[in-house]
Structure 1
Amino acid sequence: MIKYFSQLKTKFSKAKILVIGDIILDAYIEGHSNRISPEAPIPIIEANSYRYVPGGAGNVVNNLNALGAKSTLIGLIGKDQEAEILKNIFKKENVSLRGLIKSNRPTTLKTRVIGDNQQLVRIDREETQPANKKEESQILIQIAKLIKKKLCDGIIVSDYAKGVINKNIMKTIIKLAKKEKIAVFVDPKNKDFSIYNGADIIKPNLKEAISASKLSNLDGSDNSTIEKMGKQLLKMSKAKGILISRNKYGLSLIQKNETFHYKTQALEVSDVSGAGDTLTSIFALCASINLPYSICSELSNIGAGLVVQKQGTATISVEELLKQLHKTHAHISKTSSSERNALKQLIDMEKSLGNKIVFTNGCFDLLHVGHVKLLEESKKCGDILIVAINSDKSVKKLKGPQRPLIQENDRARILLGLEAVDYVVIFDEGTPKNLLRLLQPDILVKGGDYSHDQVVGYEIVEKYGGKIKLINLVDGKSTTNTLNKILKNP
């Protein structure tokens, strides 16, 4: 699976993200219930498991670590047992502790009681008053050190409204970050988005977006209403983009001149705890390695869809993310322009990661060893191989009414089963010229039975700086020869 976006894991491992915000300890008491309490009509849980997971800004750090990035955390912790538990967890994960500032307030604790995989109750212990002057000063000193020394590629502000993030701290973060050209990504809880003025991306959930925009009677299903709300929040915050998680309706990225909508990716929801942290972490990490915001949103949406299928506050790995991404996009339908545009976004991502894109096309009807060799040699010309195949309708025009022998979706699936092939796209047109213009591969490959000037689309590819590569075919191997042999020996 690592062949897909082969350099993404490497890029993630080199990224450094500064996380500033409210640190929470999530406690889970898990067990089994088979009787009701005689004291009240509630189940009795026979606890068999106690576990602790960082929550809030701590969960953002956990997500970043799971994806291979390096992170530094700044926030307040108490002088209590829960703070020690958090520090021990962070030490094991190689998270720097220098940004953890001791406070007289208790460490925020959320305890969930789980019976037979069902959350029964959550008990919160917290103090939400703003950080005092001394604590604020210590926070600002740590922020200034890390940003001025350029020890981060991106900054995530995880505001859970527990007292760490205020107007002065946000103003300082954004001022210093802009000076060093470091992007700031905010997961907000404050209803007044002007406090985040100048952030690059603000990621509210639907409830938070509705509250901040002061709109009402929204269920999140209508794209145009979401866009209107996003534009209003853009104006209010002067951000570059508003990323709204819309629960079962997916995710929307609203920018000044562009809007993208993504359908929800979750097949089965187990627990939504921390899904917003996963979404924010993936987006900020992708943006920090200079991926387009549209791709950052796509990957974030997929990641959030995966993490809600897990129990409790959880994370995902790069391999899980890429495996799901490939399931979603490896085979692109010929009929949908939106799916072609999705393929273009993915190929743009590959290019931004430094991967060389190779493109070849054909009918690939009745796959034989000559096809396989062509594809293997094509893949050697670069990093990512796109195979464009003629649709059934297109094949009939080229080969006659008796062809194709294999239906287009079956041909696509067979090709995707080959190690050399990364993407398959079906095209209805007589030639792949439109796809070449859209995707702009680095290398266009055809068989050696063509001359350079016979390769369809060579002028398009060479015009933008691409190259043409001809590969020798295996003698005597063709679909026509194979078919004639079958017909002679019924």
Structure 2
Amino acid sequence: MKDPDLVIIGDTLLDRDVEGAVSRIAPDAPAPVLDESSARERPGGAGLAAMLAAADGREVALVTAIATDAAGVRLTELLTAAGVQVYALPLPGSTPEKVRLRASGQVLLRLDRGGEPQAPGDAPAAALELIRSAPAVLVSDYGRGMARHPEIRAALAESKAPLVWDPHPNGPVPVPDARLVTPNLAEVCKLSGDAGGGSALTVAQRAGHQLRQRWRAAAVVVTCGGDGAILCHSGSTPLAVAAPATVDGDTCGAGDRFATAAALALADGALVSEAVQTAVEEATAYVAAGGVTAALSVDKSDAASAGRIGAEQAGRLAAEVKARGGTVVATGGCFDLLHIGHLATLRAARALGDCLIVCLNSDSSVRDLKGPGRPLNNETDRGRLLAALDCVDAVVIFDEPTPEAVLTWLRPDVWVKGGDYADGGPDLPEAELVKHWGGQTVIVPYVDGRSTTRTIAAARSGGK
């Protein structure tokens, strides 16, 4: 994984669209019968914003809360398969779901699952550091608790990056000094208490300026659907940005498209006024092209995700093992030159549970840890060799010095490290993290005298 262009924070839901046709009324109730023809799942909420940014070819990290149920596992699969870096906080209860029953392009009924929002658990240190060092941040608030998390808000207050805040009527106020807040016209009326008298321009200007001052934000842009947007800044005269064309279509996700486009433009150095113009153009084009279905229709999978290598495969395996009451074991390392010491460690780890997932340092991560001469073998080759071992069930590659980000969503029952951490050695950096979901950290012995560094040194000295 590369450093992200944008860090998105917010509540993620699982959206499911069920398409079908209605040709009759149910015999036992005055209700239409939908004959299902297809069903499609996708991340919703902040997860959709992350997917849209990733679809632009940008590096995106998502800090969100994910439950350990089947819907949460599916969310992680969808996000990681799209290239989104997921930093997960534990979410008590069930994953929120929105199921839309559709016919001829129209929504007949929406079914919401997941119950009342519950406060997410502690934020991983890696996620907080990511927020503090981000080049740009988007808070995509869907009113379920991420935006009011005290650790998250403290990290946002310390960040120097441009901050875009997409608010929700049930969410908290933005942190002070947000570069841009992006409510729509209905939201700005509800959040400000404005009765909405007058034209859209009058209401947007009046309520937008009120909220900008109340929130201590640099600017508030009120989105008005097909009519464009009204930017309220420190001056008394608002900037009215018209949509470049009048379009009809599914507007689901248009607000997320607007907010991500604005945040990415600010990350690239645009002025707020320029970012708003870009966002209006992108949101209009998004609706004109067919909305969320068209935007996420490109299959980004490649050969590297096949077999047992990849975040999607690792997440699915972990979910399947946990569902049948099994124990998920994970270990990590560079595994640059596989030797008997590695094999002994991997077999010992596999014996502790029902599957073994190897978290493998990427090439850039190995260089940072070992120096410019390493790795000797690239991450693709190292992953394939590991996946070919009978004691390894899946491999997931990570880019950081330690696999904390991967562990936040993989959540193994047992985390295994080699014997150099025993006998008073350094503390395991991941041990505290694993405790958060009730996991256990275990050290297994190394084979004496076997190490990659020693093997490389011996080869370079001619075996002397």
Q: TM-score range by the shorter chain?
A: 0.5 to 0.7
* CA displacement at 1:41 relative to structure 2: 2.6
1:75–1:100 Cα contact (<8 Å) kept: yes
Residue 108 of structure 2, aligned match among 109, 115, 120: 120
Report the Cα distance in structure 2 between the residues aligned to 1:169 and 1:163, rounded to whole angstroms: 12
Report the Cα distance in structure 2 between the residues aligned to 1:40 and 1:279, rounded to whole angstroms: 41
Q: Which residue of 1 aligns with 2:117?
A: 129
Report the Cα distance in structure 1 between the residues aligned to 2:71 and 2:245, rounded to whole angstroms: 32
Structure 1 residues 123 and 313: alpha-carbon distance in aligned structure 2, compared to 1, 3 A threshold: farther
Residue 163 of structure 2, aligned match among 173, 184, 189: 184
Residues 1:102 and 2:62 are matched in the alignment: no
1:438-457 equivalences in 2 (<5 Å): none
- Read off the aligned partner of 1:227 and give its amino acid letter: Q
- Read off the aligned partner of 2:265 and give its amino acid letter: C
1:63-462 equivalences in 2 (<5 Å): 63-97=52-86, 99-131=87-119, 135=121, 137-138=122-123, 141-148=125-132, 150=133, 152-166=134-148, 168-169=150-151, 171-177=153-159, 181-190=160-169, 194-218=173-197, 221-257=199-235, 259-265=238-244, 267-309=246-288, 313-314=292-293, 316=295
2:180–2:272 Cα contact (<8 Å) kept: no
2:123–2:152 Cα contact (<8 Å) kept: no
Instruction: Deviation per CA, 1:405-462: give whole Å up to 9, x if none.
Output: xxxxxxxxxxxxxxxxxxxxxxxxxxxxxxxxxxxxxxxxxxxxxxxxxxxxxxxxxx
* CA displacement at 1:142 relative to structure 2: 4.0
Aligned with 2:7: secondary structure?
strand
- Read off the aligned partner of 2:77 and give its amino acid letter: N
Residues 1:20 and 2:9 are matched in the alignment: yes
Report the Cα distance in structure 1 between the residues aligned to 2:210 and 2:74, rounded to whole angstroms: 42
Structure 1 residues 91 and 225: alpha-carbon distance in aligned structure 2, compared to 1, 3 A threshold: closer
Q: Which residue of 2 aligns with 1:38?
A: 27
Structure 1 residues 243 and 105: alpha-carbon distance in aligned structure 2, compared to 1, 3 A threshold: same
- Read off the aligned partner of 2:252 and give its amino acid letter: S
Instruction: Deviation per CA, 1:101-137: give whole Å up to 9, x if none.
Output: 33232111000011122111111113343415xx1x2
Aligned with 1:196: secondary structure?
coil
* CA displacement at 1:74 relative to structure 2: 0.9
Report the Cα distance in structure 1 between the residues aligned to 2:238 and 2:155, rounded to whole angstroms: 27
Aligned with 1:53: secondary structure?
strand
- Read off the aligned partner of 2:229 and give its amino acid letter: L
1:74–1:100 Cα contact (<8 Å) kept: yes
* CA displacement at 1:311 relative to structure 2: 5.0
Q: Give structure 1 stretches of 5+ with no counterpart.
A: 1-12, 318-490
2:6–2:138 Cα contact (<8 Å) kept: yes
Report the Cα distance in structure 2 between the residues aligned to 1:55 and 1:162, rounded to whole angstroms: 13
* CA displacement at 1:182 relative to structure 2: 0.6
User: What TM-score results when the alignment is normalised by the length of structure 1?
Assistant: 0.56
Q: Which residue of 2 aligns with 1:54?
A: 43
Report the Cα distance in structure 1 between the residues aligned to 2:197 and 2:295, rounded to whole angstroms: 31
1:62–1:315 Cα contact (<8 Å) kept: no
User: In angstroms, what is the RMSD of aligned CA positions?
Assistant: 2.4
1:266–1:309 Cα contact (<8 Å) kept: no
* CA displacement at 1:79 relative to structure 2: 1.3
- Read off the aligned partner of 1:62 and give its amino acid letter: M
Report the Cα distance in structure 2 between the residues aligned to 1:218 and 1:169, rounded to whole angstroms: 39
Structure 1 residues 47 and 128: alpha-carbon distance in aligned structure 2, compared to 1, 3 A threshold: same
Q: Give structure 2 stretches of 5+ with no counterpart.
A: 297-464
Report the Cα distance in structure 2 between the residues aligned to 1:170 and 1:215, rounded to whole angstroms: 30
2:6–2:264 Cα contact (<8 Å) kept: yes
Q: Which residue of 1 aligns with 2:410?
A: none
Instruction: Deviation per CA, 1:71-120: give whole Å up to 9, x if none.
Output: 111111111111121111122212223x1233232111000011122111
Structure 1 residues 167 and 210: alpha-carbon distance in aligned structure 2, compared to 1, 3 A threshold: farther
Larger displacement relative to structure 2 (190-199 or 210-219): 190-199
Instruction: Deviation per CA, 1:177-199: give whole Å up to 9, x if none.
Output: 1xxx2111111014687443221
Percentage identity across aligned positions? Answer: 24
Report the Cα distance in structure 2 between the residues aligned to 1:73 and 1:87, rounded to whole angstroms: 11
Which of the pair has more CA radius of gyration?
1
For this pair of structures, how many residues does the alignment match? 294
Aligned with 2:33: secondary structure?
coil
- Read off the aligned partner of 2:221 and give its amino acid letter: L
Report the Cα distance in structure 1 between the residues aligned to 2:214 and 2:294, rounded to whole angstroms: 32
Structure 1 residues 171 and 85: alpha-carbon distance in aligned structure 2, compared to 1, 3 A threshold: closer
Report the Cα distance in structure 1 between the residues aligned to 2:158 and 2:182, rounded to whole angstroms: 21
Report the Cα distance in structure 2 between the residues aligned to 1:198 and 1:128, rounded to whole angstroms: 30
